[in-house]
Chains A and B, each alone.
Chain A
């Protein structure tokens, strides 16, 4: 097990270094520079822009910039954000937890809801319930994130103002609340974006899980259980579901990077102060250090998600363990 983990860790390091290198050179190859927006301000002369570039080392040859960047990352310094004028680590510290909160709520809710819907469908395949849930899942699966988010915003925050329109807290009242009030305030603001993401992801989970359950139901052990007089409900829940979870484990591993990147559009629509806005604005403003740091975190999450999925596989399927 230790050898396995060490091997996977080494793989992860290689992947992250490769991704960082590619991201660094790709973003630098894109036209424009971090101080391009200042070009539309006639007050910002070329001398000033040159001064800014020099102060960030952008006047140095690209390989030299890369070596310096890698060296600073190795020391734990992710650089200085040009667009936000603060250390990249400080930007991530402010925004990453917000995205993690939103995405973890959404992912947990979507897996629970998705599996529940799949069980309902699998218990009576081709029934009206199965068809309705399948139709709704397909509809949600086909909808662009931003459209669904906008509809949720207009319906549940504007026309029927049940939830706040945007942000993560009430900017006027939040600081005057007690601890419980602050938690409730954040939860109230989390509902709409989390609901949008839950609807989207649960549709995916339900479709995968339904297919896996329908594959498992004709198996011999299910027939045996039926012959023993076990109820259909119990067969699906206790026997088929456990054996049909493997595809969901894969899906969970794949969904992990979405903790960082999956909510870009939803965060934008609901003005959620998370990584989505950071990634988009860092691309727009050619904020190289911030963008590359976001890519590094993304690749770490991909590798981490894949590792967790593999480990869960080994737990779920004894044939994959070392002793077999």
Chain B
């Protein structure tokens, strides 16, 4: 109960003090640049070369050191170009047929080594991202782009094979522009060994300073940046792999920011008045995914889960609200489907399969699954209603949810075993579809189009990401219709139809949509935090001179 009260207090505090995570500007004090932000970070970057990076910390660092052509706006609307903000491109022009976009680069933009940013850099960047020898994870998101050409030194044109509502997003915000002159025609494996992979040279408002393996990474203000000097002097990521150490660093004042605070830490956080919290919608959702095909032979239907009515009945037995409350407290909401609330295209009035054990029991009885023996397990033709849920052991939340579901299903005579695996083995099972049901989770892109790969027919091939083999052409058709719609109201309605189709089919039990609770020292005045990248506007955060502590006044080394 104490946890609940404290969490509620923190939540109220967060929303009253800082709408959307921002802290209102105080009068004066922000004029003099300065300040050091120390982020207590649980993960280390894998590589700092944008086309190859995969970890969240690598994204945080590189997205502050490099620039996109244009940035996603605070609304996170990726359709059209209305909500985008100029970055490396000062402006852009659409062709009358919308099949090409001409970006006009800021002529004042310079790399951190002093060389000017040129259109040829954008062309080279596109080539590297899409070169199959590079193996960039981002390459698939650039498939709508046919080619990129330089018209002059500061004008670059993106050509598209066909029109799509997210083509501007694909061109402007999927790639971080990298300096061609420092790559010297390197390609493929050689890109991993370039100096840029460890010491990036970008055009962003922060320049890279250092990366000490296992210890820290540091970026400092680019004082002569074409978009203006950042208000902070430096940002440091201090790495630690132990959650207790990460949290203690924040409470002890050695760090200023920690993302992903867990519910048990909230009461202690609430006692530290110098730390405020910001809750932002997340881009993750997790679920129990049913395998619709037999894991022993994928050409055959699954003996249990090929039956839509059985899946719906099992979904009705799971009290998702209670699970989310128990595991996440108020730091998550019940998932709506294969989407997140942060998308402007998500309609939160989607009709969910209700929690109704009575109805579920009736359906199971009608399907022939009845309790016949002393063990209270339902059987049909001698076969018990029993399956195994595979969960990733290191994920405490997913394991806890699995245990509660096991208990709820058992009350209705359904036996669910839990197979806890280390992450490598878990992924291996997912990849080979070797499971009855799996406790999955997706972190989604700022654009909702990725659902085609994870739940559409295209992803149900060998090697695809639709691990449960859910295949419904109606869902795919409605999704395509939504993704090709240019009218925002119509688009939202069509997405709703598509999501409703998959929710009704119940290929998964949609569990939780975790929010991100970021704790930050009160002296930092922040801007609105974007759900997909809370760090996006760090260059505009500041510490008023009157609130600075010793490390804020170190200054920049010359």
Q: How many whole Å from A287's CB to the nearest CB in chain B? A: 10
Do A171 and B215 have beta carbons less than 8 Å apart?
yes
Do B241 and A40 have beta carbons less than 8 Å apart?
no
* A91 CA to B212 CA, complexed, in Å: 10
One digit per residue, 1 when the CB lies within 8 angstroms of any chain B CB and 0 when it does not, for chain A 245-289 equals 000000000000000000000001111111001101100111000
* A38 CA to B54 CA, complexed, in Å: 7
- What residue of chain A has the Cβ atom nearest to residue B251's Cβ? A158
A84, A154, A271, A285: most-surrounded residue (chain B CB, <10 A): A271
* A52 CA to B136 CA, complexed, in Å: 9
Contacts of A173 in B (CB 8 A): 551, 554
Do B135 and A277 have beta carbons less than 8 Å apart?
no
Q: How many whole Å from B116's CB to the nearest CB in chain A? A: 29
- What residue of chain A has the Cβ atom nearest to residue B49's Cβ? A85
Do A42 and B240 have beta carbons less than 8 Å apart?
no
Contacts of A55 in B (CB 8 A): 135, 188-189
Contacts of A168 in B (CB 8 A): 215
Q: Which of B6-14, B62-70, B242-250, B326-334 contacts A (4 or more CB under 8 A)?
A: B242-250
Which one of A84, A153, A277 lies within 8 Å of B241 (CB-CB)? A277
Which one of A44, A51, A164 lies within 8 Å of B54 (CB-CB)? A44
Contacts of A272 in B (CB 8 A): 214
* A167 CA to B137 CA, complexed, in Å: 32
Q: A153-B245, A171-B38 are in contact. Are A42 and B454 (CB under 8 A)?
A: yes
Which one of B244, B462, B465 lies within 8 Å of A42 (CB-CB)? B465
Contacts of A70 in B (CB 8 A): none
Do A48 and B135 have beta carbons less than 8 Å apart?
yes
Q: Which of B90-98, B316-324, B436-444, B533-541 contacts A (4 or more CB under 8 A)?
A: B436-444
Do B141 and A43 have beta carbons less than 8 Å apart?
yes
Do A271 and B236 have beta carbons less than 8 Å apart?
no
Query: Is the C-beta of B52 less than 8 angstroms from some C-beta in chain A?
Result: yes
Q: Which of A29-37, A114-122, A222-230, A310-318 contacts B (4 or more CB under 8 A)?
A: A29-37
Do A41 and B423 have beta carbons less than 8 Å apart?
no
Q: Which of B424-432, B496-504, B508-516 contacts A (4 or more CB under 8 A)?
A: B424-432
Contacts of A286 in B (CB 8 A): 424
* A205 CA to B509 CA, complexed, in Å: 56
* A273 CA to B213 CA, complexed, in Å: 7
- What residue of chain A has the Cβ atom nearest to residue B440's Cβ? A40
**Chain A contact patch, size range:** 35 or more
Query: Is the C-beta of A86 less than 8 angstroms from some C-beta in chain B?
Result: yes
Pair count A-B, CB < 8 A = 175
Query: Is the C-beta of B307 less than 8 angstroms from some C-beta in chain A?
Result: no
Do A51 and B424 have beta carbons less than 8 Å apart?
no
Q: A31-B428, A166-B249, A175-B557 are in contact. Are A43 and B238 (CB under 8 A)?
A: no
* A30 CA to B427 CA, complexed, in Å: 12
Within residues 60 to 81 of chain A, which ones have a CB less than 8 A from any CB in chain B? Answer: 80
Query: Is the C-beta of B197 less than 8 angstroms from some C-beta in chain A?
Result: yes
Q: A166-B254, A269-B245, A270-B245 are in contact. Are A33 and B215 (CB under 8 A)?
A: no
Do A44 and B137 have beta carbons less than 8 Å apart?
yes
Contacts of B236 in A (CB 8 A): 171-172
Do A43 and B445 have beta carbons less than 8 Å apart?
yes
* A278 CA to B241 CA, complexed, in Å: 11
Contacts of A45 in B (CB 8 A): 140, 453, 463-465
B135, B421, B425, B444: most-surrounded residue (chain A CB, <10 A): B135
One digit per residue, 1 when the CB lies within 8 angstroms of any chain A CB and 0 when it does not, for chain B 409-429 equals 000000000000111111111
Query: Is the C-beta of B252 less than 8 angstroms from some C-beta in chain A?
Result: yes
* A92 CA to B214 CA, complexed, in Å: 11
Do A42 and B424 have beta carbons less than 8 Å apart?
no
Do A176 and B554 have beta carbons less than 8 Å apart?
yes
Query: Is the C-beta of A210 less than 8 angstroms from some C-beta in chain B?
Result: no
Query: Is the C-beta of A169 less than 8 angstroms from some C-beta in chain B?
Result: yes
Query: Is the C-beta of B239 less than 8 angstroms from some C-beta in chain A?
Result: yes
Contacts of B38 in A (CB 8 A): 171-172
Q: How many whole Å from A101's CB to the nearest CB in chain B? A: 13
- What residue of chain B has the Cβ atom nearest to residue A53's Cβ? B135
Within residues 116 to 146 of chain B, which ones have a CB less than 8 A from any CB in chain A? Answer: 132-133, 135-141
Do A42 and B241 have beta carbons less than 8 Å apart?
no
Contacts of A280 in B (CB 8 A): 241
Within residues 74 to 109 of chain B, which ones have a CB less than 8 A from any CB in chain A? Answer: none
Q: A31-B424, A157-B252, A171-B215 are in contact. Are A271 and B139 (CB under 8 A)?
A: no
17 contacts between A and B (CB under 8 A): A30-B425, A31-B425, A37-B427, A46-B464, A48-B137, A51-B133, A85-B46, A86-B197, A91-B213, A165-B249, A171-B215, A269-B242, A271-B242, A273-B215, A278-B214, A284-B422, A284-B424
13 further A-B pairs in the complex, CB-CB below 8 A; given A31-B428, A32-B423, A166-B248:
A31-B421, A45-B464, A46-B462, A52-B135, A94-B213, A95-B214, A154-B248, A172-B234, A173-B554, A269-B242, A271-B240, A271-B242, A284-B424
Residues of B within 8 A of A (CB): 36, 38, 44, 46-47, 52, 54, 132-133, 135-141, 188-189, 192, 197-198, 212-216, 218, 234, 236, 238-242, 244-245, 248-249, 251-252, 254, 421-431, 441-445, 450, 453-454, 459, 462-465, 551, 554, 557
